[in-house]
Amino acid sequence: MPVLAPLKEVADIIKEAGGEELKLCYQCGLCTGVCPWNTVRSFLVRRIMHQAQLGLVDFEDEDMWLCVTCRACVERCPRSVGILDVMKAMRRGITELGIAKVPDSLRITIKNISGTGNPLGEPPENRANWAKDLDIKEYTEGTEWLYFTGCMASYDPKLQRIPRAIVNLLKKAQVDFGILGNRETCSGESVRKAGDEQLFQTLAQTNIDTFTELGVKKIVTTSPHSYHTFKNEYPELDGNFEVIHYSRLLAELIKEGRLKPTKELNKKVTYHDPCYLGRHNGIYDEPREILHSLPGIELIEMPRSQENSLCCGGGGGGIWMETKKGERFADIRLEEAIETGAGTLAVACPFCMSMFEDSVLSLDKGDIIEIKDIAELIQEVI
């Protein structure tokens, strides 16, 4: 059995890096119990919290990078400990102080974002290529909405169908909106969760400056991640904007009659709650309202839904890291979706879309289930 002594300095670093709340933890272990990792491998969140309390964290351990920030633990923590903040603080300690190695994939991604403003390392000037043929105006002062596309939706060819569907619908509903085009840069949400606070600060400040310069008041986002950081984290840097996730805007547009479903779909659909829309921001109803409003759609809930939803595994930098087969939450979730008998798995987050598309391919389930963004489904009936 190892013999250890508390390292107050280390505990102080974690606390100062945003992990202050860990002192509230009374080691009940509910976090470990609810953490999805423990259905596929051991991940003793409770013990990590205790190690952090005493400054005895093993920063070299790959466990440092497992947390996908799904917030299942925080949701139920009896002492309301900001467990994700602690995880983030430890990663920040590793990244900023260089006390351990950052996984290669994550390191490269962060390097990409730092250099090009997107995780894929694509040229910034190509950011708006997805919209080339769509005749979308660049945001200018006075435009009602800024549509913030986000990196993955902008660059990943598999995901570009999401923003394309969204702008089509916005146009149909005659919403006054514009995009930033090449001036858009990464929101920094996952960068922060991956522990690079400095880069997050730079990215956020850049975005805030751009928004302010252009006189942006209202922002609609593709990604729940961008939505989350704009809404909850940018105010720390005095970036105060009215932010809305597209699902909410589209739901309103349908409600207002500005989007009128005309066709019938005849599909069995199940909906996957993205963590950053659901548990992080409490948005469970609007996506379902949309699905209910689409003619011919039968919405079947998976056993784990809303606040109990299983994460796709893409948060907290997970989307950029390799996960062993058999440990992928997206695979499990896909099976759960298939179990319901639905032929369509509806999502409302590009990260979820990406993860599930990978699972469909790797599990070879393409003929049983399709992955659709809810914007795509609306588009199909308009």
Partner 1 sequence: MEDNTRIGVYICHCGSNIAGTVDVKEVAEFAQGLPSVVVAKDYIYMCSDPGQSMIKEDIKELGLNRIVVASCSPTLHEHTFRRACQDAGLNPYLFEMVNIREHCSWVTEDHDAATEKAKALVNAAVRRVYYHEPLEIREVPVTPSVMVVGGGIAGIQAALEIANSGHKVYLVEREPSIGGHMAQFDKTFPTLDCASCIFTPLLSAVGQHPYIELLTYSEVEEVSGYVGNFKAKIRKKARYVDISKCTGCTDCANVCPVELPAEFELGMAQRKAIYRLFPQAVPSVFSIDKRGYPPCRVACPAGVNAQGYISLISQGKFKEAIEILRETMPFPGVCGRVCTHPCEVDCERGKVDEPVAIRSLKRFMADYELRVGREKTTPVEKTKEDRVAIIGAGPAGLACAYDLIREGYPVTVFGAAPQAGGLLRYGIPEYRMPKEVVDNEISYIEELGVEIKTNTPVKNLEDVFNQGYEAIFLGTGAGISQKMGIPGENASGVIHALDFLRQVNLRVKVELGERVAVIGGGNAAVDAARVAKRLGAKEVSIVYRRSRAEMPAVATEVDEAEQEGVGIHFLAVPVSVLSKDDKLTGIQCIRMELGEPDASGRRRPIPVKGSEFNMDIDNVIIAIGQTVDRAMLPKELEYTSWGTLSVDPVTLKTNIEGVFAGGDVVAGPADIIGAIAAGKEAAISIERYLEGVDLKEGRPTPVKQVKEVPKEGVEIKARSTMPVLELEKRKGFAEVELGFDEKMAIEEAKRCLNCGVCSECLECIKACEPQAINHEMEDEIIEVEVGSIIMATGYDTFDPSVITQYGYGRYDNVVTALQFERMCNASGPTEGEIVLKDGSEPKSVAIIHCVGSRDKNYFEYCSRVCCMYSLKYSHLIKEKTNAEVYQMYLDMRCFGEGYEEFYDRLSGEGVNFIRGKVSEVTDQAISNEEKGKLIVSCEDTLLDAIIRVPVDMVILSTALAPRSDAEDVARLFNISRRADGFFRERHVKLDPVATTTEGVFVVGCAQAPKDIPDTIAQASAAAARVLAMISWGKVEIEAAIAAIDEELCSGCRICNLLCPYNAISFDEEKEVSQINEAQCKGCGVCVAACPSSAIAGKHFTTEQIMAEIEGVLI
Q: Which stretch binds partner 1 (CB under 8 A): 48-56, 182-190, 306-314, 367-375?
A: 48-56
Which of 1, 98, 256, 325 binds partner 1 (CB under 8 A)? It is: 1
Alpha-carbon span 141 to 96, nearest angstrom? 38
Tell me how far apart the alpha carbons of residues 41 and 136 are, in angstroms, rounded to a whole number. 46
Q: Per-residue contact track with partner 1, 58 to 97, x per CB under 8 A?
A: ---------------------x------------------
Angle at 69 between CA 67 and CA 70, to 5 degrees: 115
Options 52-60, 113-121, 213-221, 345-353: segment touching partner 1 (CB under 8 A): 52-60
Closer by beta carbon to partner 1, 86 or else 253: 86
Rule CB under 8 A: say whether 47 interacts with partner 1.
yes
Residue 303 makes contact with partner 1 by CB under 8 A: no
Q: Mark residue 191 as left, alpha or beta (left: phi above 0; alpha: psi -120 to 50; beta: remaining).
A: alpha
255 binds partner 1 (CB under 8 A): no
State in angstroms the smallest separation of the CB of 47 from partner 1: 7
Please report whether residue 292 would count as binding partner 1 according to CB under 8 A: no
Characterize the bridge pairing of strands 177-178 and 218-221: unpaired
Binding segment (CB under 8 A) for partner 1, from list 45-53, 211-219, 250-258, 318-326? 45-53
Do 168 and 378 meet the contact criterion of CB atoms below 8 Å apart?
no
Contact 234, 264 (CB under 8 A): no
Q: Should residue 6 be labelled a site residue for partner 1 when binding is judged by CB under 8 A?
A: yes
Q: Of 47 and 304, which CB lies nearer to partner 1 in the complex structure? A: 47
How far, in Å, CA of 227 to CA of 97, rounded? Answer: 29
Is the CB of 2 or the CB of 257 nearer to partner 1? 2
Among the listed residues 19, 46, 226, 302, the single contact to partner 1 using CB under 8 A: 46
| Contact range with partner 1 by CB under 8 A, out of 43-51, 141-149, 151-159, 303-311 | 43-51
Could you give the CA distance from residue 382 to residue 293 in angstroms, rounded to a whole number? Answer: 12
Using left for φ > 0, alpha for ψ between -120 and 50, and beta otherwise, residue 304 falls in beta
Bridge partners of residue 218, in order along the sequence: 145, 242
Q: How far is CA 304 from CA 95, 103, 225, 226, 291, in A?
A: 34, 31, 21, 25, 18
**In this complex, which beta carbon is closest to partner 1, that of residue 22 or of residue 310?**
22
Report the C-alpha gap between 333 and 304 in whole angstroms: 9
- Closest contact distance (angstroms) between CB of 94 and partner 1 is 20
Among 34, 40, 54, 300, binds partner 1 (CB under 8 A): 54
Contact 374, 291 (CB under 8 A): yes
Nearest CA to 128 out of 153, 159, 162, 158 is that of 153
- Stretch of residues binding partner 1 (CB under 8 A), selected from 23-31, 32-40, 158-166, 322-330: 23-31
Residue 23 interacts with partner 1 (CB under 8 A): yes or no: yes
Report the interface residues with partner 1, using CB under 8 A.
1-6, 8, 23-27, 46-47, 50-51, 53-54, 56, 79
